[in-house]
Amino acid sequence: MAKITIDIRDDLVEEIDHMVDGKKIKNRSHAIEVILSRLLHANKVEKAVILAGGKGTRMRPFTYEMPKPMIPVQGKPLLQHIIELLRKYEIRDIILSTGYMGEKIKEYFGNGSRFGVDLTYIEEKSEMGTAGSLNLMKNLLNGTFLMFNGDVLANIDLHDLIAFHRENNAVATIALTPVRDASRFGVARLKGSKILEFIEKPETTGRSKLINAGIYVLEPEVIGYVPEGKAMMEMDVFPKLAEEGRLYGYPFDGQWFDTGTHEAYERAIKAWKGIK
């Protein structure tokens, strides 16, 4: 590792020192390294995919009238909150994978210019799951990209997530969020930062309660793991990557809500603080 000496303004040193917590950021030099890594690595990720093609059957009757990603939270569709998060981190080239009532998404967002982004639509003729649509867009994905489930709300530092992915030379990185009740989710079993597996219906004590937050950093080679037709990241792709030691988990503490049930949706409406 090379050593360099630089002069930094006192006010910047103060901000750098605020980053040091002794755990995630160990010291001043480490803080500067993290800042540079975020800036350099983040610039290499230009595209994001948002999965917005599901039927959202658990959210009926709302989804009789609109696709689930268009359900409003505090006056905006779920999908708009995700787009605003991406725009905040200067990721403006976004691919939307649509299916059920996809025309309502296109009608609202158009080409994305009104929201400061560039939108491309991929239409699923039949339901493709959380992985299958990647085969429809593989010609559009030639570098590291982000992928979001279209029904999650998250306040996450995407630059830090991307830097973590790069530092580990990962093929796939899953953002992991802590939850009190993990009974509806698979819980990540980790060895260091590597994900070994996801445990369904976990025990109430003795295990990590970090779950898949529905946000990923992926390399294009992940698409080679996706079978044709309907496929699931959780069942068809991630287990293979975990077995090969190429799947990593990035825990984060920012706000996160899944909107998979009416109860979860109500919590999101009441507690979501928005993208800042």
Is position 32 within any domain?
Answer: no
Check which CATH number belongs to the domain holding 205 and give it.
3.90.550.10
Distance CA 44, CA 93 (A): 12
Q: Is the pLDDT of residue 91 over 80?
A: yes
Q: Is the CB of residue 175 less than 8 Å from the CB of residue 216?
A: yes
pLDDT in tens, 182-205: 666 778 888 889 999 888 655 655
Distance CA 42, CA 166 (A): 9
Is position 36 within any domain?
Answer: no
**What's the structural domain count of the chain?**
1
Mean pLDDT over all residues of the chain? 83
257 — pLDDT class (breaks 50, 70, 90): confident
- What pLDDT is stored for residue 84 in this prediction? 94
Q: Could you give the residue numbers annotated as active site?
A: 201
Is position 22 within any domain?
Answer: no
Residue numbers of the domain that contains 240: 43-271
63 — pLDDT class (breaks 50, 70, 90): low
Is position 184 within any domain?
Answer: yes
DSSP 49: E
DSSP 246: -
Is position 89 within any domain?
Answer: yes
- Rounded to 5 degrees, φ, ψ at 20 are -75, 120
HSE-up of residue 102 (Cα within 13 Å, Cβ side): 18
Is position 29 within any domain?
Answer: no
Is position 127 within any domain?
Answer: yes
DSSP 122: E
93 — pLDDT class (breaks 50, 70, 90): very high
Distance CA 265, CA 276 (A): 21
pTM for this structure?
0.81
Closest listed residue to residue 63, CA positions, set 275, 238, 259, 208: 259
The percentage of residues in the chain with a pLDDT greater than 70, rounded to a whole number, is: 86
Is position 234 within any domain?
Answer: yes
Q: Is the CB of residue 188 less than 8 Å from the CB of residue 262?
A: no
Distance CA 197, CA 13 (A): 41
